[in-house]
Amino acid sequence: MSNNGTVTIMEGKQFIGAVLLVLSIALIAGCTSQSEQTVAKNDTVSVDYIGWLDNGTVFDTSNATLAKEAGIYDENITYEPITFVVGSGEVITGFDNGVVGLKVNESRNITLTPDEAYGDYDASLIQPVNTSDLLENNITPYVNETLYYGTNPVTIYSIPNNTTVMIDFNHPLAGKTLHFKLTVLSITPPSAS
């Protein structure tokens, strides 16, 4: 600033340069901390995923194109990344643990044993149901049909006679080893949610 209180062009350029330098440093610091953030318990994360069985069969994905390629596309499903709070029990244990430590745009392949996924297969969960109960709900049962008991998928195991249907209340993936590729798309710490 000159002695008479006016800013010269040179001083103005230096001031603008200093402001731009400070803003650049702040921006770089913010980007660096965001890119170095890793998933921790209680973070809200958005994750793209693909899941397959030991034989390579894809059973689920968040990507519509991959679902079509795998022959599992369902027009009633919205294919999008899954968002959940890590450690809250919203997803299967192995999936929950599989994202911990990942950064945004980082991927990891994981293998889950049944106890980390949908549990062991339990033959005692095959239960008889009266055929009339299904017919009253406009369900004509057939073997291997998937129904929903609440929000849980169940499968018609067998139809031993005209009055009884055997329903398997195990999750369809119970007893299976599952493989996933997980890609973290965003991380929101609990204080920011």
pLDDT value for 149: 83
CATH class, domain 123-168, is mainly beta
In the chain, domain spans:
1-36, 44-119+174-192, 123-168
How much is the pLDDT for 11?
55
Q: What is the 3-state secondary structure (H, E, C) of 26-80?
A: HHHHHHHHHHHCECCCCCEEEEEEEEEECCCCEEEECCHHHHHHHCCCCCCCCCC
Position 23 scores a pLDDT of 43
Same CATH topology for 44-119+174-192 and 123-168: the answer is no
| Mean pLDDT (10-residue bins), the chain, 193 residues | 51 50 44 71 97 97 97 95 96 95 97 97 96 91 90 92 95 96 97 66
Q: Residue with structure tokens 């596309």?
A: 73
The confidence score (pLDDT) of residue 152 equals: 85
pLDDT at residue 148, as a whole number:
87
CATH code of the region 44-119+174-192:
3.10.50.40
* Closest alpha carbon to 159 in 170, 145, 148: 145
pTM: 0.74
pLDDT of residue 192: 61
Length of the chain: 193
